[in-house]
Structure 1
């Protein structure tokens, strides 16, 4: 299709331009997801304890938060094309540094570089779509965008498993270098040299940056996300102080926002974020990304530690589920103009999510086959257009181009924090759930059940079986509670008013 804002672009170039926009987003998605899928192998490669490895996760998220904070101001001064080019270069350098790491500290700094480059690419791409297209032109653009973003991330689980098993853990980052550079070439060839918004060209007065905002926001994001992730390693009953860390992070971010309110030229305008529609949409975004972080941690753990499937089989299954999500998003892009802005579709998505969780919880049995599990995984993959894309159609409908940039940048900051919260919650639940299940299982075993004291190999096999059963029991309980939670969210989607009464 042709775009009125880019009359010189042929329909073919417009398509590849949108694929490049999605590809830039996919670089961020891949960088995040590969750490979860291949995390055990990467941690072993740099000899990191779980606590040390967590810093490499939170350093990426914290620097991605800073990138989103600075995005609008830098992009308007240089252009979103320049921002994307520089971001991809920095992301490639960060990925290369990750591949060269030998210690946890090195990996933490390398991931920070990678996060600063890749973390703002999603928001930059989505804002750029808003600037180059009118509302009636937007829906077809997301076909190419979804191919680029979901296409890259769909192949990640299988690719990570194949690379790690056939070569070494460094290949996880080597492929990210290749992806970033490939997308960079596509961006250079297809992006317009400078995109003008509808109306007059903005005249931006770049004031000296308030580095206290940067320090408070960046430090707050890192402390908050590390504290949320750190929950997996401690029990609140024995270490109550661990709950203070996320609170300190929230307070630092609140201090940054108080300082932002006094700036004449804002990095991120809090006053543009106070509309009822946006705040309700942001709530549903936070719920989705919380569940997404939780799901991405729980399912690989359940498939490997609970069901006993190999790393490569797990990667293949997750890839097929992601491909189904891609196909669902492409179908949604075609019918989007007819279904956008309807709460019942969001409710339907969470009903489907609840059904998938309940199906999976009832199948957490020893020796279960993959054929029995796949329907639940595939059903969850079909929820993405409803629980994520539909929310987007309702959240940003009233924003002008300028306010949209503030709103979408802050949405991606929330994405980083909510994802970390979901991962931490899943880890904490499994930690408690496995401990309780293990204790109950052990209490049921007596010397008479064992037929006397068995040999050491049989004892080790029994210990392994107990660990597997504990994982299955804890996962089934978590999946059941999440099914109830999704059902409640479905009801909220129907009863909450998105707009203030006239």
Structure 2
């Protein structure tokens, strides 16, 4: 039972919590499916990698704007109303994506989808703060994780099935259907606000701080696109590519300077400078950075480096995702009994280091999924320790109103950190593969060439060298990642802010 909503039965409380998770899952699934099926979607609209990147960054930039305006709009139409509005816009965006034929059409449709879905995670999490006292939130988190993390875990397998058996357009049809289903669940289960809520068309749009919207929205788009663009260029030959993310970062910084001077800021910088929050935000940022890096490298390596089919890769990612989801559910109930939380955060990073080191030693042609699965499973089990535990400690001292500011900013940082992780992984693989390929080619002498050497043999050797170079680069990256995670574990033990 919830003290603020005594009219809700236990079953209604769980349905409410599950719906919170489903609303969040609309955002998670949209991002996951796009990442998993990106190659197939790009082929369907005949987009170059650079053009297709806009469909990824437009969604993330629009999501940043959605998180920015969330609290102000929710003041007028309630967080329930904001969720319904966001789901409706996400449905329209997904439907538009399903009928796109060109890269620019998909980029614009994805921006619409991101504007609707991008703020749903933050809205759901704030609703939990508003609806229940601290000691009443555990059942809400269980349902929330079931809807959000459960759907996200299933997304890779569903995506592979849809692409293989139907069409890439069906991915967006399914996303639209999920948004509609989530809207129906919200109408059925969300409690209404006691104070009267305005309809969306009566919100004072003209009175909004559009300077902040323009600065932060443009800055996020430029920054995220610049970070994503790193995967297509080498800094040594195209140093100007580094200018784009720097310009984006300056625009984002100017938005916060403007907010600092604003008499009634949408994101209050003064509330975001507490030591506990900044340390927690640092661990958050690191997690999402690692998550972006890990997701990009693992999915790329499974298919192009180790030769697994798209369907097999999707199935494995879903299996490990479900294992991680199960671990998170167990943590939801057992986590409150843990003492010495810093040590458990460190344990999470040691587990991450172990998973990365295991993979670094198993990057070889012909490696079976049975050899890789233990490492992938271990990494999926780190989420409770390096995300959920940090979340519980970071916001311990925030009031409900201040929590909204803090969580808005956290999810803006989430978009940037994930893109940065992907960009760094891409850059590393570029340089790592180039260096490994040069060393491998240098070892081949005329005496190594077989009799009857022809163009077909040359092509075969070239493919083998490319595969070996990629696996060497990935192995080196995971080895460095393991060392870095051990260092972070030591920092987690030493720090005093989160305890």
TM-score bracket for this pair, using the shorter chain length:
over 0.9
Q: Is the 8 A contact 2:17 2:139 kept in 1?
A: no
SS of residue in 1 equivalent to 2:307: coil
- Secondary structure at the aligned position of 1:180 is classed as helix
CA contact (8 A) 2:343 2:492 kept: yes
Q: Deviations over 1:440-478 (max 9, x none)?
A: 111111232112562222222222211211111111011
**CA distance in 2 between partners of 1:301 and 1:454 (Å):** 31
- Alignment of 1:69 with 2:68, yes or no, is yes
Partner in structure 2 of residue 476 of structure 1: 475
Tell me if the contact between 1:447 and 1:453 (Cα under 8 Å) persists in the aligned partners: no
* 1:413 paired residue number: 412
TM-score (norm. length: structure 2): 0.96
Deviation at 1:265, TM superposition (A): 2.4
Of the structure 1 ranges 44-53 and 332-341, higher mean CA displacement relative to structure 2 is found in 332-341
Q: CA deviation at 1:335?
A: 1.3
Change (3 A) 1:400 1:62: same
Seen in structure 2, the aligned counterparts of structure 1 residues 155 and 195 have a Cα distance that, compared at 3 Å, is farther
Partner of 2:369: 370
Aligned partners of 2:346 and 2:488 also within 8 Å: yes
1-structure distance, mates of 2:261, 2:471: 52
TM-score (normalised: structure 1): 0.96
Deviation readout 1:43-94 (Å, 9 max, x if unpaired): 1111111111111111111010000000011011110001000101111111
Aligned length: 492
What CA distance in whole angstroms lies between the structure 1 residues aligned with 2:280 and 2:498?
Answer: 10
Give a deviation string over 1:195-216, Cα, whole Å, max 9, x none: 67xxxxxxx9998112111110
SS at match of 1:7: coil
Structure 2 gap ranges (5+): 196-202
* 2:360–2:475 Cα contact (<8 Å) kept: yes
**Alignment correspondent of 1:114:** 113
Can you list the C-alpha shifts for 1:338-361, whole angstroms capped at 9, x where unaligned? Answer: 227711110000000000000011
Task: Name the CA distance, whole Å, in 2 between partners of 1:483 and 1:219.
Answer: 35
Q: Which moved more, 1:138-147 or 1:258-267?
A: 258-267
**Residues 1:323 and 1:499: Cα distance change in structure 2 (over 3 Å):** closer
Match of 1:201 in 2: none
Structure 2 match to 1:242 = 241
Structure 1 residues 44 and 365, CA gap change in structure 2 (3 angstroms): same
Q: Distance in 2 between matches of 1:347 and 1:39?
A: 34
Q: What is aligned with 1:47? A: 46
Q: Is the 8 A contact 1:207 1:265 kept in 2?
A: no
- The answer for the alignment partner of 1:4 in structure 2 is 3
2:320 equivalent in structure 1? 321
Cα deviation, 1:220-241, whole Å, max 9, x if unaligned, reads: 0011111111111111111111
Between stretches 449-458 and 296-305, larger displacement belongs to 449-458
CA RMSD of the aligned region, Å? 1.6
1:351-397 deviation digits (Å, cap 9, x = unpaired):
00000000011000111111111000000011000010000011000
Contact 1:65 / 1:416 at 8 angstroms: preserved in 2? yes
Partner of 2:353 in structure 1? 354
CA distance in 1, matches of 2:118, 2:64: 7
Query: Who is 2:307 aligned against?
Result: 308
